[in-house]
């Protein structure tokens, strides 16, 4: 049987992502396990090509629409993905010979649509090669939103929202930052090791670790290998977690001996972080709506040595399956959100999520916050967090909650956060953005029951 090439596997992933709810990172991981004949260069090429097409899809489609006599809506999805892959290689992968990009694309089209399909792909890609220096993009001074949408590759509605909330200059910075490859960030498991020890072990393995600037437990790996090749990951000395995500637990500020509710806990990164900040002393009730996510939490606790987590299946927007009158010292509501703060890691999100998702999720977030408030002790802390940057899912949800729950107040984050992190506090909220600090986009509000 002929071994599949990285390009063929990339096409499989692009097609399956469109046809199913499977995420590209999961499909890539599965591919690395399935196609073990791939070299490290093959895996790197496959990863770059897959994520690159997702990152630059708007730009690629805009160019293809100018060279194709057939509207893109009428092109078979597999052929369109072949064209996107070929065009991405021509425009963005300078080390890939143009002839290889075109020829391999043509060969992939033959089994799909025969000679006619191959000729169609060949004609478009070769026309782009001949005329790529003549392509003219929308101008910033004429239409800023369209310029950013096409030039940086985002849905127009998304750019328009960014401009509305932050202005043209910040929208451009954000769009550029979100097209950068996010660094791999680790969180030291302080139940087993300290950060200095972990950095030393990683250096011994030939890696390039450095401490994060704001999380005292974080480590950034420059030029990191694929996750599947990380050393001693299963030993439990660390987990993979973005620095902004680590800051959420710092704001929650859990103490040893407390009873904590992690209400939307899957897949468990913050749950285990809470446990290590509690020195494995106390109780954590981890609630999630799916058994699969609860299983992930349980599996992640074992190698880390976390022993104080109890998992329970439940919907955080409804009464919890817990003993009557049970209350908690602190509650984390890391609510389901649109995830637009994580586009560096999940570029497919901008094609899978739309404005209707933001509106739908904001209603769910409001119901979760309202429901959880009844389980908090007087004087307790309720932390609301998202990995998105839209007011509709962030400030608007919190303000509406405070208006309908006068027993709660917005707590002073400056008292909780170290001085170095005060720069992220805006109008009482903790907010990070990919541009400027290199972290994912996160929003956190700390609420106290007075």
At 115-160, the pLDDT tens digits run 999 999 999 999 999 999 999 999 999 999 999 999 999 999 999 9
Q: How far apart are CA 138 and CA 128, in angstroms?
A: 18
Higher pLDDT, 262 or 321: 262
Which position among 10, 301, 337, 387 bears the catalytic label?
387
At 248-267, the pLDDT tens digits run 999 999 999 999 999 999 99
- The count of other CB atoms within 10 Å of the CB of residue 422 is 11
- The count of other CB atoms within 10 Å of the CB of residue 272 is 29
pLDDT at residue 51 tops 50? yes
- Enter the tokens of residue 181: 């490859």
Query: Domains in the chain, please, with CATH?
Result: 6-134 (1.10.940.10), 144-178 (no CATH), 184-240 (3.30.70.1170), 243-449 (3.40.50.150)
DSSP string of 400-419?
A: HHHHH-TTEEE--HHHHS-G
Query: Which band of pLDDT confidence, cut at 50, 70 and 90, is reported for residue 2?
Result: low
Burial class (CB in 10 A: 0-12, 13-18, 19+), 196: exposed
Q: Pairing state of beta strands 283-288 and 309-313? A: parallel
Average pLDDT over the chain, rounded to an integer:
95
Share of the chain above pLDDT 70, in %: 100
> Between the CA of residue 425 and those of 141, 189, 416, what are the distances in Å?
33, 26, 11
Q: How far apart are CA 108 and CA 79, in angstroms?
A: 9
Quick one: the chain helix, strand, coil %, rounded to 5? 55, 15, 30
Query: Which band of pLDDT confidence, cut at 50, 70 and 90, is reported for residue 40?
Result: confident
Mark 22-56 as b/e (b = at least 16 C-beta within 10 Å).
eebbebbeebbeebeebeeeebebbbbbbbbbbbb
Dmax over CA atoms of the chain, in Å, equals 73
pTM for the full predicted model:
0.93
Clarify whether 264 is annotated catalytic. Answer: no
Interacting residues of 424 by C-beta distance below 8 A, sequence separation 6+: 214, 247, 417, 430, 431, 432, 437
pLDDT at residue 330 tops 60? yes
Of 22-26, 90-94, 339-343, the poorest mean pLDDT is in 22-26
Predicted pLDDT at 1: 43
At 223-238, the pLDDT tens digits run 998 887 899 999 999 9
Higher pLDDT, 80 or 25: 80
């Amino acid at each position: 049987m002929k071994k599949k090439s990285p390009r063929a596997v990339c096409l499989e992933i692009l097609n399956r992502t469109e046809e199913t709810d499977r995420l590209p990172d999961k499909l890539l991981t599965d591919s690395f396990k399935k196609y073990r004949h791939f070299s490290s260069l093959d895996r790197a090429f496959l990863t770059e090509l897959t994520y690159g097409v997702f990152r630059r899809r708007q730009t690629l489609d805009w160019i293809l629409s100018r060279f194709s006599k057939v509207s893109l809506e009428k092109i078979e999805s597999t052929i369109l993905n072949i064209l996107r892959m070929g065009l991405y290689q021509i425009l963005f992968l300078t080390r890939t010979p143009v002839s290889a990009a075109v020829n391999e694309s043509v060969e992939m089209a033959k089994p799909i649509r025969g000679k006619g399909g191959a000729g169609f792909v060949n004609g478009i890609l070769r026309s782009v090669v001949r005329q790529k220096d003549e392509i003219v993009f929308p101008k910033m001074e004429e239409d800023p939103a369209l310029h950013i949408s096409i030039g940086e590759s985002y849905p127009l509605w998304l750019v328009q929202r960014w401009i509305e909330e932050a202005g043209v200059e910040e929208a451009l910075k954000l769009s550029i930052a979100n097209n950068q490859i996010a660094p791999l960030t680790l969180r030291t498991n302080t139940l087993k090791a300290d950060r200095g020890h972990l950095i030393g072990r990683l250096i011994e393995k030939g890696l390039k670790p450095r401490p994060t600037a704001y999380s005292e437990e974080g480590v950034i790996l420059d030029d990191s290998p694929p996750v599947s090749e990380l050393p001693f990951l299963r030993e439990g000395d660390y987990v993979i977690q973005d620095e902004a995500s680590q800051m959420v637990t710092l704001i929650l500020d859990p103490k040893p001996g407390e009873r904590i509710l992690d209400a939307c806990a899957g897949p468990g990164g913050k749950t285990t972080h809470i446990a290590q900040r509690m020195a494995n002393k106390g109780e954590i009730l981890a609630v999630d709506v799916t058994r699969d996510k609860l299983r992930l939490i349980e599996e992640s606790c074992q190698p880390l040595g976390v022993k104080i987590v109890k998992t329970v299946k439940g919907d955080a927007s409804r009464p919890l399956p817990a003993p009557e009158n049970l209350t908690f010292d602190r509650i984390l509501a890391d609510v389901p959100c649109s995830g637009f703060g994580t586009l560096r890691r999940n570029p497919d999100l901008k094609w899978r999520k739309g404005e209707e998702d933001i509106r739908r999720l904001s209603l769910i977030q409001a119901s979760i916050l309202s429901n959880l408030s009844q389980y908090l002790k007087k004087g307790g802390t309720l932390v609301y967090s998202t990995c998105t940057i839209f007011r509709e899912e962030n400030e608007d949800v919190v303000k509406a909650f405070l208006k309908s729950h006068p027993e709660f107040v917005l707590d002073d984050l400056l008292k909780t956060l170290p001085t170095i992190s005060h720069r992220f506090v805006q109008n009482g909220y903790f907010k990070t953005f990919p541009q400027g600090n290199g972290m994912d986009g996160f929003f956190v509000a700390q609420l106290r029951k007075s």
